[in-house]
Amino acid sequence: MGRPASAHRRATLLGSSEKKTMAIKLPIYMDYHATTPVDPRVLEAMLPYFTVQFGNAASRNHPFGWEAEEAVEKARKQVADLIGANAKEIVFTSGATESDNLAIKGVAEMYREKGNHIITCVTEHKAVIDTCKRLEKEGYRVTYLPVQKDGRISLDELRAAITDKTILITIMAANNEIGVIQPIAEIGAIAKEKGILFHTDAVQIVGKVPFNVTDLGVHMASLSAHKMYGPKGVGALYVRRRNPRVLLAPIIDGGGHERGMRSGTLNVPGIVGFGKAAELCRQEMATEGERLRGLRDYLNDKLHRQLDELYINGSVEHRLPHNLNISFAYVEGESLLMGINDVAVSSGSACTSASLEPSYVLKALGAGDDLAHSSIRFGLGRWTTKEEVDYVADKLTSVVTRLRDMSPLYELAKEGVDLSTMQWQTEGH
Amino acid sequence: MAYSNKVIDHYENPRNVGSLPKDDMNVGTGLVGAPECGDVMKLQVKVNPQTGIIDDAKFKTFGCGSAIASSSLATEWLKGKTVDEALAIKNTDIVTELSLPPVKIHCSVLAEDAIKAAIADYKKKQVAEGKTAEKMAQPTA
């Protein structure tokens, strides 16, 4: 949407802060949980595999195939090294949605005789929730654990949910909306004690904070390249080979690639990029994590200094360093996004359907639908600068202030009315 | 979500944002929607007792850009209309004027509800006021 005249008006709202941010390139990307750009070093590593070294990694009889296979095996090692796995435990897929499907459906089919019960949690990604729902239609029983106010599951509730029919626990490592990190090592210990397989959707955590499958007692982990500065369309499933050896029924049949677990010609350039991205994350994670934590805390502090009635969704302590999810009370999320349209972020409000259902993750925290409708997710990343954070904080401050001035809820709250006790007319809306 | 230029204009330059004294007998207030639905509109009209014409209208809205635009447009249309003319405003008029997509039609419905609620509140006050006036008038009659 091009609107130069309104851009000028918005600029005047910002006043003096606009001057020092003139050098910033707009729009600003602050939605790194959705996807990340490919790191130029990753792209460079990928390019030859499109044109020169274009062989099929499954071609055994000529150098084109050998080169491709060698590149894939190097990448397999790079990905494995990032999570403390053996290269043979990495199965390349088209992305984390496929990895989640393979882990859950693969275990469900392979261990059907052992049991039919799966435990997951209400704040999982749809790739896990909808896969579990599919299995429910096929006769499996699924327990969706609730989360506590901080977004983490209760280990006692997990223990209580386990039955002698439980074959799989699938709990995400870090949430994609609120960045809350689950007690993965503790869940791994419970799974080990009970002899149950443990899968984790580790898409948001891998490459951001240390994540070691051996230390954590994880049996399967879903990974995605495009969340860690690699290309889209490539992912992996870590599948443990010993203590215990995990067996999976494939969901795609064909040429028997990836040790029979995932047939289909390998996406060699994508896999090479995934490997390079994993290597860079392993080398730079510590410094990058600290830098982003600093910027994230700076953003949070600045917003809290400039605005009142902000609520952080989910645990602050157990949280990815580059995530911030805040509800700006009395302001609706979509109108907030409209006001900050030169900043790319996500909102928990979904005012696009008759049901107007806000984020199920935020609802699960018990935040109340009104606060879910007021939430913004910030995802900082490799190219986020302090200048950008300043711009975003100032911009949000001016837009939130303007929208609160026209919010009947803010007016009522300032008059001392308790909004939770009011009788609202909800029929038909 | 791609917004029409008119929605963007109302969002960025909302007309008639604010509040009228809700205890004024010539002011009608409508508060519709609910926070958990993501939309709350407060719409007020001030009716000139001599002419019966709405000579001021104000709104405050918690909601998406389309909800803000729908209520802003409603206040523009209300000014200068009689109470009966105001009740003839239909949500479909708002949809057409703002080019609202199907998923945003509920915003226009809410604006129509807000107009009706404000007028109903005004009429209720007039009836109450009339009764009070009658009672006060009785002893001297």
Closest partner residue to A335 among B59, B68, B103, by Cβ?
Answer: B68
Tokens read off for A381: 């990343």
Instruction: Share the mean pLDDT of chain A.
Output: 92
In this prediction, residues A232-260 reach a mean pLDDT of 96
Q: How many CB pairs under 8 A join A and B?
A: 110
Inter-helix orientation angle B105-137/B65-78, to 10°: 40
pLDDT, residue A162, reads 98
pLDDT, residue A242, reads 94
Q: A24: which DSSP letter? A: S
The distance from CA B15 to its chain's CA centroid, rounded to whole angstroms, is: 12
In this prediction, residues A326-350 reach a mean pLDDT of 89
pLDDT tier, A423 (very low <50, low <70, confident <90, very high otherwise): confident
Tokens read off for A341: 């349209």
Task: Nearest chain B residue to A408 by CA: give it.
Answer: B60
The verdict on whether omega for the bond into residue B101 sits within 30 degrees of 0, i.e. cis, is no
Task: Nearest chain B residue to A399 by CA: give it.
Answer: B12
Which domains, ranges and CATH numbers included, belong to chain A?
4-38+285-416 (3.90.1150.10), 41-281 (3.40.640.10)
Of B131, B51, B125, residue with least CA distance to B83 = B51
User: pTM, whole model, 2 decimals?
Assistant: 0.88
Q: Does A9 touch chain B (CB under 8 A)?
A: yes
Of A104, A428, A71, residue with least CA distance to A272 = A71
pLDDT, residue A356, reads 56
Tell me the pLDDT tens digit for each residue of B57-86: 999 999 999 999 999 999 999 999 999 999
Between chains, do B103 and A373 touch, taking CB under 8 Å as contact? no
A281 as an active site residue: the answer is no
Please tell me the CATH code under which domain B5-122 is placed: 3.90.1010.10
Closest partner residue to B60 among A9, A408, A429, by Cβ?
Answer: A408
Residues of A in contact with B41 (CB under 8 A): 408
The H or E element spanning position A18 is: helix A17-20
Weakest mean pLDDT among A59-73, A355-369, B80-94 = A355-369
Closest partner residue to A373 among B38, B41, B60, by Cβ?
Answer: B38
Minimum distance, in Å, between the CA of residue B121 and any CA atom of chain A: 15
Amino acid type, B12: E
pLDDT tier, A155 (very low <50, low <70, confident <90, very high otherwise): very high
Between chains, do B14 and A406 touch, taking CB under 8 Å as contact? yes
Asked if residue A1 has pLDDT above 60, the reply is: no
CB atoms within 10 A of CB A293: 16
Between chains, do B36 and A368 touch, taking CB under 8 Å as contact? yes
Residues of B in contact with A332 (CB under 8 A): 38-39, 62-64, 67
- Taking CA atoms, B125 is separated from A167, A261, B31, B122, B132, in Å, by 66, 74, 16, 5, 10
Asked if residue B137 has pLDDT above 70, the reply is: no
Q: Which residue has the higher pLDDT, A370 or A30?
A: A30
E-strand ranges in A75-189 read 90-93, 117-121, 141-145, 166-170
Tokens read off for B12: 């960025």
Asked if residue B35 has pLDDT above 90, the reply is: no
Cβ B88 vs Cβ B124: under 8 Å: no
Tell me the pLDDT tens digit for each residue of A88-114: 999 999 999 999 999 999 999 999 999
Between chains, do B68 and A406 touch, taking CB under 8 Å as contact? yes
Q: Rg of chain B over CA atoms, in angstroms?
A: 16
pLDDT, residue A426, reads 59
pLDDT, residue A350, reads 57
pLDDT tier, A23 (very low <50, low <70, confident <90, very high otherwise): confident
